[in-house]
Structure 1
């Protein structure tokens, strides 16, 4: 409960307790609220008073989302429609669900509706964010690379209507000897900071090409998408290395797609643009990843040689919101007008899949369609689908 006035907070806390909410934290400003989040380990809902004198609400939404310790936010106060829409879009873009905007002071009925809406979507359990882990040092990363601990996992992509297999995205996992299986969020920032991204990418690419070569000998064709960071696009050797690797495995470039985050496209230097063009000339596909979170212009999309758009999962996670539906339909229209394919990320339920089919979307990936798996698991998964 984030509110400047102690009297108002006491009234609202009493109302929440009558609605069965007993674990309530209180704060008078954004700084105190962030401290409470860190101390408690996370909350389900932030109830935020819009009349707070010292609160920058948009900044607080962004900071709360970055902590990963808030699921949803409900606002109270009187707003102009344009401001309300701006807050809703900001919440969606940073990964929070805006449950609604209530009048001030809050009334029991709309507050009850907010709580019920949250419980129907998320259940009763409190947010349990993953505890922060100490960042790996450069020595540990180099040791892991030398020992082959960085492994390529694969997440399937399927057509949404028929469920036909279309390809996979290569995802790196670090099988750490003492810390267990680590995801990119646990180590990627340090890999970039210590300038080890090229070495890690080369191992992921080698494993992916080796997998491709194996399954092609079994008369199975698989397209693999690999992620590229902006710093790699500026390399003098990137396209040459990929071309040489394809030749060694006797594979066509058409089996590979390289994904670049939309946010990395804004300040591309001439060398990066040249590498993108050379990859396309090798026959490789190019995908704009995490689309909708950056600020790419239509002119930029028209001038760069991309062949695919991947809409970020945050819009799918909030597909019941009109803004998210608009993002899906407008991105689909954009992709069609530019003669690009569209892949929807983060499909986690049958309802989402069916809703996307009704909107005209054709291809996607997500836990409902297929979870990331190691090479042997993917072979077994493919074998079962072909039987």
Structure 2
């Protein structure tokens, strides 16, 4: 089959082939030349490649596309990638290796973590069709999007956290959950945001650990719950009662007063406990097992739903499934986003969904960003999903209008078209 001509910008790209096998380098060079690329250099080891790249950087010349093997003498491909990161040399990378799939997947994750521009991965022996397919995407290879770029260092202290709680700077943001069979809007997960006047928007990773260590997490949680109940009341006035899922660290359940206060606050608001789902996160193992189990039991008796959050990533997750009366299972986004490129992630995702089916629990996948991911989840039997594909987290002020605009959707295609 005749392959389409690559864009001129791609054909003019410099390429550096890094492989200890002269035969593999020559075969790759021939394939590149048949695709119209002629500016090709070769290196027999990572150390030789590093020398060439340093020289280009010193001359302030563009760095070439790196087609990189892993197993090499002197300096292997992994060492080279780490050194490039340390020296702030960021050539676009194509990984080409005959190593086992699990090892290649680990290196690909490392490349993404280092934020090196990754064009893709090709197995050996290289094929012209696969290489052509990757090179077509070279013009679109760019730095990480703004929302994923490295943020400025955040400074939070216990006094600043106390002041934020006193000033009411903690806000709930809402991300919708969508039924994957009907396309209907099920409810929302509540995500904590700290609107700091000096540093801007702060996210849970910036302050939840500090709140837990300082003993301020219960106060923070109840501040969010009060705002969630108020937003839920506004929705209810319009006839809507979507579920609201609030994250609860398992350590708080060891205090029996926590369950008492939560039940009392919900009753005082006029809301139904059945509308609230407690997403149990695990920062540690249960310290007081009996007290925790008692709190969970009382909350379930009162009607609260109970979700095991980030399934597969916490402490003793399988044991918790046998001990706590969960009503749904949340699947961590890491397994969703990597399932298309990593067979192990796909197997774990499938097993998590199968587990939920056997336990007769709905499964909810987090971090869904593409239609392909939705179709994969549907094929695996997942119940529901949330993620940027449907909506980014929104503040309470936007919730009523957004819900009014989307509550009537009755199929996944309605979401895909919006």
TM-score by length of 2: 0.69
d(CA) in 2 for partners of 1:318, 1:85: 12
Question: Alignment length, in residue pairs?
Answer: 352
Match among 102, 105, 111 for residue 85 of structure 1: 102
SS at match of 2:256: coil
In structure 2, the residue matched to 1:168 is 188
* 1:13-32 equivalence runs, <5 A: none
SS at match of 2:242: coil
Q: 1:110 to 1:219 in 2, by over 3 A?
A: closer
In structure 2, the residue matched to 1:207 is 227
Q: CA deviation at 1:215?
A: 1.9
Q: 1:222 to 1:297 in 2, by over 3 A?
A: closer
CA RMSD after TM alignment: 4.4
Q: 1:303 to 1:113 in 2, by over 3 A?
A: farther
Q: Is the CA contact (8 Å cut-off) linking 1:290 and 1:310 kept in structure 2? A: yes
In structure 1, the residue matched to 2:405 is 384
d(CA) in 1 for partners of 2:313, 2:69: 24
d(CA) in 1 for partners of 2:300, 2:254: 16
d(CA) in 2 for partners of 1:325, 1:171: 27
d(CA) in 1 for partners of 2:223, 2:70: 50
Q: Does 1:125 align with 2:142?
A: yes
Q: CA deviation at 1:100?
A: 4.3
Q: CA deviation at 1:99?
A: 5.0
Q: Does 1:373 align with 2:418?
A: no
d(CA) in 1 for partners of 2:180, 2:406: 15
SS at match of 1:237: helix
SS at match of 1:192: helix
Q: Is the CA contact (8 Å cut-off) linking 2:175 and 2:391 kept in structure 1? A: yes
In structure 1, the residue matched to 2:275 is 255
Q: CA deviation at 1:360?
A: 2.2
Q: 1:92 to 1:326 in 2, by over 3 A?
A: farther
d(CA) in 2 for partners of 1:20, 1:187: 50
Q: Is the CA contact (8 Å cut-off) linking 1:89 and 1:323 kept in structure 2? A: no
Q: 1:52 to 1:173 in 2, by over 3 A?
A: farther
* 1:120-269 equivalence runs, <5 A: 123-127=140-144, 129-261=149-281, 263-264=282-283, 266-267=285-286, 269=288
Q: CA deviation at 1:125?
A: 0.8
Q: Deviations over 1:105-151 (max 9, x none)?
A: x979799579649759xx31123732332321222111111111111
Q: 1:130 to 1:19 in 2, by over 3 A?
A: farther
SS at match of 2:267: helix
Q: Deviations over 1:290-319 (max 9, x none)?
A: 112236454541222111111111122123
Q: 1:376 to 1:102 in 2, by over 3 A?
A: same
Q: CA deviation at 1:253?
A: 1.4
Q: Does 1:331 align with 2:348?
A: no
Q: CA deviation at 1:249?
A: 1.0
Q: 1:375 to 1:235 in 2, by over 3 A?
A: same
d(CA) in 2 for partners of 1:186, 1:19: 48
Structure (1 or 2) with the larger CA radius of gyration: 2
Q: CA deviation at 1:213?
A: 2.1
Structure 1 spans left out of the alignment, 5+ residues: 6-10, 29-43, 65-69
Structure 2 spans left out of the alignment, 5+ residues: 1-15, 21-25, 48-64, 409-418
